[in-house]
C-alpha cells in the first residue's frame, strides 16, 4: 500500500510536468504516449482512492465489531457480578455458628466471567483496543482470577465493577465520544477510585 502510494505520487508529479511551458514542444511530439501516461495516472489515482476508502470502511467495521464484543463481555461480567453478589449476601445471612460457613465458597465458588478470557484472546481485540485499556483489562483479569476462590468476595465484586467500567470507557473511545487523552484521564480516574475502594475494604476488615 505504501509503495503503491509513493508510485502514484511520483506519477502525478511527472504528470504535472506536462503543464510546464518549456516542455510543450516535446509534449506535442509525443502526445499519444503522454495521453496514455496521463490516463494511467488517473487510473492509479482512482485505484488508490478506492483502496483508501476500502481501508477506512474496514477499520470502521472492525470498530463496530469490537464494540459488540465489549458489550457482550460487559453482559457476561454483569451476570457474574449479580450472581456473586447474591451468593455473598446468602453467605452473610448464614448464622455464624453454621458449619457450612467455613467451606461455603469451596462448595459455591464465585463465577469467573470466562467470556473475558475469550474476548482478550482475540487478535481483533489486541489490535483495535487502546494500549491503556489492554493493560488495565489484563491487570483486572489477573486479579479476578486470583480472588475468584471466594476468600475475598468483596474485593472480587469491586474488581468486576471496575472491569465493566474499563470496558465502558473504551467503548466511548471507540465510538469517538472520547479522545485518547480523555480516555487516559478517565482510566487514571477509574484506577484511583478502584484503589480507594480497595483501601476502604481493607481498612474495614481490620
Contact at 8 Å (CB) between 12 and 45? yes
Q: 136, 125, 119: which is closest to 74 by C-alpha?
A: 119
Among 164, 198, 193, 171, CA closest to 81: 164
What are 199's three cell numbers?
483501601
The pTM score is: 0.75
- pLDDT confidence of residue 148: 85
Give the pLDDT confidence score for residue 102 in this predicted structure. Answer: 83
What tens digit of pLDDT does each residue of 45-60 get?
A: 677 766 666 677 777 8
Amino acid at each position: 500500500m505504501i509503495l503503491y502510494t509513493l508510485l502514484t505520487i511520483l506519477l502525478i508529479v511527472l504528470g504535472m510536468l506536462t503543464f510546464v511551458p518549456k516542455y510543450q514542444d516535446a509534449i506535442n511530439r509525443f502526445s499519444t504516449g503522454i495521453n496514455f501516461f496521463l490516463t494511467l495516472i488517473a487510473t492509479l489515482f482512482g485505484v488508490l482512492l478506492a483502496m483508501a476508502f476500502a481501508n477506512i470502511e474496514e477499520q470502521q467495521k472492525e470498530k463496530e465489531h469490537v464494540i459488540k464484543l465489549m458489550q457482550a463481555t460487559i453482559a457476561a461480567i454483569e451476570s457474574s457480578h449479580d450472581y456473586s453478589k447474591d451468593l455473598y449476601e446468602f453467605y452473610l445471612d448464614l448464622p455464624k455458628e453454621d458449619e457450612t460457613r467455613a467451606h461455603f465458597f469451596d462448595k459455591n465458588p464465585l463465577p469467573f466471567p470466562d467470556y473475558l478470557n475469550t474476548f482478550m484472546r482475540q487478535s481483533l481485540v489486541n489490535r483495535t483496543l487502546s494500549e491503556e485499556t489492554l493493560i488495565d483489562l489484563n491487570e483486572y483479569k489477573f486479579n479476578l482470577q486470583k480472588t475468584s476462590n471466594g476468600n475475598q468476595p468483596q474485593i472480587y465484586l469491586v474488581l468486576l465493577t471496575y472491569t465493566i467500567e474499563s470496558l465502558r470507557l473504551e467503548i466511548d473511545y471507540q465510538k469517538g465520544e472520547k479522545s485518547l487523552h480523555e480516555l487516559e484521564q478517565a482510566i487514571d480516574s477509574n484506577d484511583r477510585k478502584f484503589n480507594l475502594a480497595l483501601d476502604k475494604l481493607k481498612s474495614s476488615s481490620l
